[in-house]
Structure 1
């Protein structure tokens, strides 16, 4: 009997709802000219809606690959959906009120809402951790699929955790807490400069200081980037015979995963040093150069032929029959 490969429906519904909210937030950007911390009031709801859309869609698929403890997995995934909806509801409410959702403890209501967000993001990370552990134990026969899914899930989990760096009080906040000089904020996404300064278009990432949103974003979306590498390799295998070798594709995805991990470490280090993404210093460029060289050497080594190369292209990376029971 074929195993159940049904995608997780609550996750799919969540992805659909967040897609709708992406459009609604985009409309808000067009019709509401209010600014919150120097950015359009509806920019944060828009960015979170897009991020939650791809997160929920990705896990709706990944949950379908899990073969053990199906009822527990379904329950945890559904709870993660609830947490996402709570988190997004607070973000939207605060945008509608024209105030910050993150780091805001200026009033009892703001503090309560920020506390709810803190609990929800902790629950989201914990639920994702459990799902990731189940995923790591799932047997995946195709090497490229196996390493793409595993690297993507683990690095996404790390990216979620890096968001915790933003809730650490800045030196000024710690020094003024409990005094009249306290500005009602605990935590920041910028390093070395105040939040709300000059930033890149759309993302708002600081162009004058470090920005902890960058490693948070880069890490989280490994969940989409590395499976995409697998898709690209499958497509290229139709033209290049070397890529029809499962072992070669698997090694290339390992190189991609390690390179992605290196890039995540690099942008985290850069942000913590208070350095803008678009203005790297010599030390950052040296580290980047080393990462590029190591990736290139790893790619060359990964492309070495193995004993035999299959004559037919590999299965598509989202072909569920590539995944088998443990």
Structure 2
């Protein structure tokens, strides 16, 4: 792990600010009993602030690993901070007004705010893409960790892009002139209906936020897998082989990508996460079997373990 001094400072400040905002939103959940689109009004900014804490901290760490293109990475990270600040300002501002921030077309002002949010997400996505390109060009001492970061960035970009699917008008909205909302999180059911606890995901229909969540958190899951393998190599001789760790990372990345594709497909079919049909269960079974087979093949076909200890991750 690189020293904290090498991390992206604007992203660290942004992460700290989002942590404070998360506390404020948690207080709002208790003190403010207003409900908006079927959920406590402070639920959305709470989820967004927590998500930005994880996202900002991860990108700040990834910046610290770069020895090439650090200036470009700094600007990309700073653009992400600016986009995130605008995004949260609109979300919190609309909560204060008692209005929904996403998909809101009730007035010209609400529509303008949502268009601003859409623009900031496009800018954020492009900046994240630039950072991913820099990470692909950056060599690291441990190949498994390098590829975990790269693949996590790619799947994370795909997860972020799921948000663009949410802005499509639903058939019900198209059937109404001057619909007050354009776009939705849910598929097959209206937003604000029965939902799962904590997450707020639709309980009776599809919800694209599931895929959004799974895809974006590849940014944390895959690097964590690589780091666990590096430290496990000190106790498991087979994992001292860098090639074995690299193959396991590829298996893990393939499994996570498959899960992302599965929940995206499930949501687009209007199916709730907790109510999979036989076809979804069969696909999930194939995915689990494929990942398990990949792990077994990797561990059994590997050469004799090397006596060289696992390298440390360096930036």
Normalising by structure 2, what TM-score? 0.95
1:237 aligns with 2:233: yes
- Checking the alignment, whether the CA contact within 8 Å between 1:191 and 1:271 is kept in structure 2 is yes
Distance 2:177 2:124 in 1: 29
How far off its partner does 1:68 sit? 2.4
Q: What is the DSSP-based 3-state SS (H/G/I as helix, E as strand, rest coil) of the residue aligned with 2:175? A: helix
Alpha-carbon distance in 1 for matches of 2:155, 2:109? 34
Q: TM-score, length-normalised on structure 1?
A: 0.92
Q: Is the 8 A contact 1:242 1:305 kept in 2?
A: no
Indicate conservation of the 8 Å contact 1:262/1:291, yes or no. yes
The corresponding residue for 1:38 is 38
1:242 Cα offset (Å)? 0.8
Gaps of 5+ in 1: none
Within-5 A mapping of 1:53-64 = 53-64=53-64
Question: How far 1:124 sits from its partner (Å)?
Answer: 0.4
Q: How does 1:63-78 map to 2 (within 5 A)?
A: 63-78=63-78
**Cα deviation per residue 1:228-265 (whole Å; 9 max; x = unaligned)?**
11222233323321112111111111000000000000
Q: Say if 1:7 and 1:88 are closer, same or farther in 2 by CA, change over 3 A.
A: same
Aligned partner of 1:219 in structure 2 is: 215
The 1-side partners of 2:81 and 2:306 are apart by 41
Taking the aligned partners of 2:127 and 2:303, their CA distance within structure 1 comes to 42
2 CA distance for matches of 1:74 and 1:236?
A: 32
Secondary structure of residue in 1 paired with 2:300 = coil
Q: Which residue of 2 aligns with 1:301?
A: 297
User: Is the alpha carbon distance of 1:295 and 1:233 closer, same or farther for their aligned partners in structure 2, counting shifts above 3 Å?
Assistant: same
> How far apart are the structure 1 equivalents of 2:94 and 2:311?
46
Q: CA deviation at 1:174?
A: 1.5
**8 Å contact kept, 2:29–2:40:** yes
Alpha carbons of structure 1 residues 191 and 3: separation in structure 2 relative to 1, 3 Å: closer
In angstroms, what is the RMSD of aligned CA positions? Answer: 1.8
Match of 2:276 in 1: 280
